[in-house]
Every structure is written in structure tokens, then in C-alpha cells.
Amino acid sequence: MLTVINALKLATDYFEKKGIQSARTNAEILLAHILNCKRLDLYLRFDQPLSENEVNLYREFIARRGKYEPVQYILGFTEFYGLHLNVNPSVLIPRPETEILVETILNELSTKENVKILDIGCGSGNISIALGKNLPNCEITALDISKDALQVAQKNATKNNVTNINFVEGDIILNGILDNHKFDVIVSNPPYVSINEYTTLQNEITKYEPKEAVTDDADGLKFFKRISEFSMNKLNDGGSLFFEIGMGQSKNVSLIMSENGFEEIKIVKDYQQIDRVIYGIKR
């Protein structure tokens, strides 16, 4: 009979041979999910035998992870800013770095009421839902070009009891999208990986996550240009544009925003002291 400790050892050894980072942690997360317990609880259950169904499901999970499928897609969910969000390969997996973007916006809006916010490229809805949960009096429009992504986002909003979001399918460069709408805040975590850099990313990203949510198939700056130009026409006077940016992009994105008329441009670093968020004001 296979026990918890033996199962973890076999899975960890297999993941290490596959070159998967944090092999032991991955093994523990998957098994804890199957056993419906916390990771730390596994250490109190090392000698517990696994049932046949548990063994079979663990083998399935291990095989999928061995093909570099992200743990979040295997489990079907992830955590973001205190939220429990469903994810699948139609949406980018929310990263901890994006929580800094949410936190920055919340700090800037702490004294404001009835703010109208546009989230461009909402994906799983992580940014919109986190903002909506913490700003119940605001009105959010979540825009995405992907119908499948919007379905995930809408389910996540319902799951987290957030009702102040209007989900819209569309592309900002198409005429007619959001006509007669003005916003106080526009936010986006756009595809900012250059096509050259994309080829160097880990298998978990290139094999499974939606390519259109990761790279702009150009120099990584295409969507910053489009969104900055669009936002200058869609923001109310005094409104702000917020971006998440990649490493080494702050200078170029700051210039793009400045050229489009944004002022008082500020940059926020992540926990590794990498420039991660940039924002500016329309005067």
C-alpha cells in the first residue's frame, strides 16, 4: 500500500528528473488537494495509506505536471489578492506581481468615491474582481477580446460575490467599443513579452498559457502605445492610467505615456526591486 510519504518521494523524484522547479512543493500541493487538506497537514499523515482512487488521481496529476502543465491548471484554480479564482488555459494565470498593481490603484483611490474603472484585457478577471471587492461603490468595465476568458471572469465574479462589474467583449482599436463612455481610471496588464523573449520562457508558459496574453508578437511595447493613445481620449480630466510592466520596460513605457500627454508619471517596484507598475495622470 502506497503511503503519503512514499507518494511524495516518488513524485518529487520524478519532477526533479523532469527539471521542474520546486519539485517537492509541487508534489505536496497536488497531493494535499486530493486529500482535501493543507500542505502542512501532510506532515502529520506521512504513514497514511492512499486509497486506489487517490493513487490513480495522483498518478494522473503527476503525469500532467510532468508534461509541464501548470499546477493551477491541473487544480483549476489559484489564489489572488485574497480571492479564490478559477483558471483554465483560456486565461493567463494571475501572478503575485499583479497584486502590486491592484494595491497601487487601491492606495490612489482610497479617498475617492463612485469611481469608474476600465480594465483592458481582463483575462480571469483578477484585477477587476479584486478592485470591485475592495471598492464596492465603484463601477467597473472589464474588457477582453476573448469570449472564453470573459466566461471565466464572469464566473469568478459570481463566485466571489462581486456585482459591480460589466463584462464587455471587444478590442479597443475597433470603432464603436465603449462609445460615449468616460472613465476615471484605466488599468491594464497587457501582453508585454517581446517575441524574441517569448522563445526563452519556461515550458509551462509557452506550452499552456494563451500566447496572446503573454506576447504582442513584436517588441513588447505595442499595447502600451495603443492603450496610452486610447486612454487619453477615454479618461476624464484628472483620470489615471495604470500599467503592469516587465523588467527593463519602465523607461520606454514612461516615454510612451509622456508622448501621449500623461503627466506626473510614477513607478512602483516589486519585492525584488524591479520596476513593476507605472501610472500617470491626464491633465
Q: Is the domain of 153 the same as that of 252?
A: yes
282 pairs with which residues across the strands?
A: 262
268 in any annotated domain: yes
Q: Please check whether residues 93 and 62 belong to one and the same domain.
A: no
Largest CA distance in the chain: 69
Whether residue 73 is contained in a domain is answered as: no
Res 283: pLDDT: 87
In a domain, 13, yes or no: yes
Helix, coil or strand: residue 133: helix
Q: Say if 88 falls within a structural domain.
A: yes
What's the average model confidence in pLDDT over 34-62? 97
Given a cut of 90, is residue 228 above it in pLDDT?
A: yes
pLDDT range class, residue 177, cuts 50, 70, 90 = confident
Instruction: Find the CATH number of the domain harbouring 218.
Output: 3.40.50.150
Same domain, 21 and 86: no
Classify 64 as helix, strand or coil. helix
Q: Is residue 75 part of a domain?
A: no
CATH number where 26 lies: 1.10.8
Q: Based on the domain organization, do 159 and 259 belong to the same domain? A: yes
| The total number of structural domains that make up the chain | 2
Residues 190 and 241: their CA atoms lie apart, in Å, by: 13
Question: pTM for the complete prediction?
Answer: 0.95
Position 218: which residue type? A
Q: How far apart are CA 189 and CA 44, in angstroms?
A: 41
- 171 against 264, higher pLDDT: 264
Give residue 173's domain range: 81-282
Cβ neighbours around 46 below 10 Å, total: 12
Task: Kindly state whether residues 56 and 103 are assigned to the same domain.
Answer: no
Edge-to-edge strand ranges of the sheet holding 165-169: 165-169, 139-144, 116-120, 183-188, 235-244, 275-282, 262-269
